[in-house]
């Protein structure tokens, strides 16, 4: 596992250093589209190793039963914010993707997103990884997600005044909220903000009754939390999974915790590199973009006249003629999503051996609650529909809002994350009977 983590770290460093050199030395300010494939691979392999495409893992994370996702995102956001705003002092141009804080769209969209995540167990990006992992569940999720994105695209015109224009405070950040606008001031705020995020390693245990993650990371704890039930689930779900993967994900020991730390650091470097490379960091806009291209092929005038596709599809009407410039607004995101799928496929086949071959499978949390998997395909479809509908309403998802947005210290992204967490926790309790934070 250390070999894999080292390769990913080297790849992330190459992308970041290459992006800085591209701007500072070559004066090229936008990376080629094909680089997005490699960005997606570097981002998705750590997530596949952590098994985040698994709905059981996501549902445990959003109910705070397993805090690995929260702690790792805190590390990624903290390290990334300090690095990003430090680079901003020297790198001439960065592609800031700070989302505007329009209260109704961000909050209501976040609540809908959270409900969908609890039902389906998927984020927009993990759907693509799960598809690469060979999950049959992901097929229904892709269909539901595409239709959710289409639904918002079709109603965006009449919905925009309330959801995007009411109480719209613009792309505000924590520094600008307090009137701090110089690059140095922003960097100082980023240090404080970043340290607060990173400090979760000091105080938050991965599981109930455990010790803070940093104690395992430094080797100062002899605690080993091998959860027999979870290991049994792993071996039941993935017949060929190596023991070293189980240890890296399920057992809190110094060696495995350090691998988790290294993978999170790789994730942070790639997230910053994407912004330095002046490309889009996100996963959910691709769902709408796919419809823009399909509808343009079927009816160019109709597709080009839709206000939402004019924002993200590269479509417009000039002198009555529909025109399509597919990547002009969305950047490399469709290709980075392709890389996300490929990363899930590569990791599940060659690293973790979790590839499931699209066989029948139902999340354990679902069967523990309902005793049958008959309605699970419908839940995957409906949940993903809500996830993508909410993401497009809020103009961002787990990647573009929760990770990238908070890394840039966007106020809208923090509000979105709080709404997602609220919607997910309440829904998980109502649907599965899961109480947040408790061990059982």
The residues with which 175 forms a beta bridge, in sequence order, are none
Give pLDDT, residue 286: 93
Give pLDDT, residue 425: 94
Mean pLDDT of 336-359: 95
Q: What are the residues whose beta carbons fall under 8 Å from the beta carbon of 104, sequence distance 6 or more?
A: 162, 163, 166, 167
CA 404 – CA 274 distance, rounded (Å): 10
Number of residues that this document lists for the chain:
440
- Contact present, 281 and 267 (Cβ < 8 Å): no
Q: Please report the beta strands in 249-330, taking only residues with DSSP state E, as ranges in sequence order.
A: 315-318, 321-324
Give pLDDT, residue 231: 75
Mean pLDDT of 84-89: 92
At 354-412, the pLDDT tens digits run 999 999 999 999 999 998 888 999 999 999 999 999 999 999 888 888 888 999 999 99
Of 123-127, 139-143, 302-306, 328-332, where does mean pLDDT reach its minimum? Answer: 328-332
Mean pLDDT of 276-284: 80
Distances (CA, A) of 187 to 28, 81, 85, 96, 197: 24, 9, 5, 15, 15
Give pLDDT, residue 62: 86
CA 239 – CA 139 distance, rounded (Å): 21
Mean pLDDT of 142-171: 97
Distances (CA, A) of 107 to 25, 44, 111, 167, 423: 42, 27, 6, 11, 10
At 100-147, the pLDDT tens digits run 999 999 999 999 999 999 999 999 999 999 999 999 999 999 999 999
Measure the CA dihedral 255/260/265/271, to 10°.
160
Q: Rounded to 5 degrees, what are φ and ψ at 318?
A: -120, 120
> Which structure tokens are listed for 219?
């080797």
Of 243-247, 271-275, 282-286, where does mean pLDDT reach its minimum? Answer: 243-247
CA 51 – CA 123 distance, rounded (Å): 13
- Residue 289: its H or E element: helix 285-298
CA 20 – CA 392 distance, rounded (Å): 31
Rama region for 242: left / alpha / beta (φ>0; ψ in -120 to 50; rest): beta
Measure the CA dihedral 85/86/91/93, to 10°.
0
Q: Which of 73-77, 140-144, 260-264, 313-317 has the highest mean pLDDT?
A: 140-144
Q: Among 323, 346, 327, which residue's Cα sits nearest to residue 31? A: 327
Question: Which SS3 state, helix, strand or coil, does residue 267 take?
Answer: helix
Residue 130 exposed, middle or buried by CB count within 10 Å (0-12, 13-18, 19+): buried
């Amino acid at each position: 596992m250390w070999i894999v983590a080292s390769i990913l770290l080297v790849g992330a460093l190459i992308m970041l250093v290459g992006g800085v050199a591209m701007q500072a030395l070559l004066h090229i300010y936008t990376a080629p589209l094909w680089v997005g494939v490699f960005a997606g691979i570097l981002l998705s392999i750590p997530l596949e190793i952590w098994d985040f495409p698994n709905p059981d893992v996501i549902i445990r994370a959003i109910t705070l039963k397993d805090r690995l996702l929260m702690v790792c995102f805190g590390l990624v956001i903290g390290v990334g914010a300090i690095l990003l705003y430090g680079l901003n002092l020297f790198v001439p141009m960065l592609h800031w993707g700070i989302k505007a804080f329009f209260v109704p769209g961000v909050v209501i969209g976040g609540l809908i997103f959270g409900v969908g995540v609890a039902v389906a167990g998927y984020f927009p990006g993990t759907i693509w990884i799960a598809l690469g992992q060979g999950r049959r569940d992901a097929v229904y999720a892709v269909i539901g997600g595409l239709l959710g994105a289409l639904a918002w695209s079709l109603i965006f015109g009449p919905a925009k005044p309330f959801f995007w224009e009411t109480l719209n405070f613009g792309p505000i950040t924590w520094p600008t909220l307090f009137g701090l606008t110089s690059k140095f001031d922003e960097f100082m705020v980023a240090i404080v903000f970043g340290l607060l995020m990173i400090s979760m390693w000091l105080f938050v245990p991965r599981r109930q009754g455990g010790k803070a993650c940093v104690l395992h990371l430094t080797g100062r704890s002899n605690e080993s939390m091998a959860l027999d039930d979870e290991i049994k689930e792993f071996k039941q779900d993935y017949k060929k999974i190596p023991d070293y993967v189980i240890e890296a994900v399920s057992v809190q020991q110094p060696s495995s915790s350090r691998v988790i730390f290294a993978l999170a650091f790789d994730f942070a470097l790639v997230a910053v590199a994407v912004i330095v490379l002046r490309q889009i960091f996100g996963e959910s806009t691709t769902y709408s973009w796919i419809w823009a291209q399909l509808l343009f092929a079927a009816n160019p005038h109709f597709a080009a006249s839709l206000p939402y596709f004019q924002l993200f599809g590269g479509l417009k009407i000039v002198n009555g003629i529909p025109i399509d410039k597919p990547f002009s607004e969305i950047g490399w995101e469709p290709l980075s999503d392709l890389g996300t799928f490929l990363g899930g496929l590569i990791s599940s086949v060659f690293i973790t051996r979790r590839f499931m071959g699209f066989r029948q499978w139902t999340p354990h949390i679902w069967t523990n609650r309902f005793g049958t998997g008959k309605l699970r395909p419908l839940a995957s479809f409906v949940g993903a529909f809500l996830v993508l509908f909410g993401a497009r309403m809020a103009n961002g998802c787990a990647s573009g809002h929760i990770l990238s947005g908070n890394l840039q210290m966007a106020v809208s992204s923090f509000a979105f994350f709080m709404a997602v967490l609220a919607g997910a926790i309440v829904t998980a309790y109502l649907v599965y009977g899961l109480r947040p934070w408790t061990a059982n």
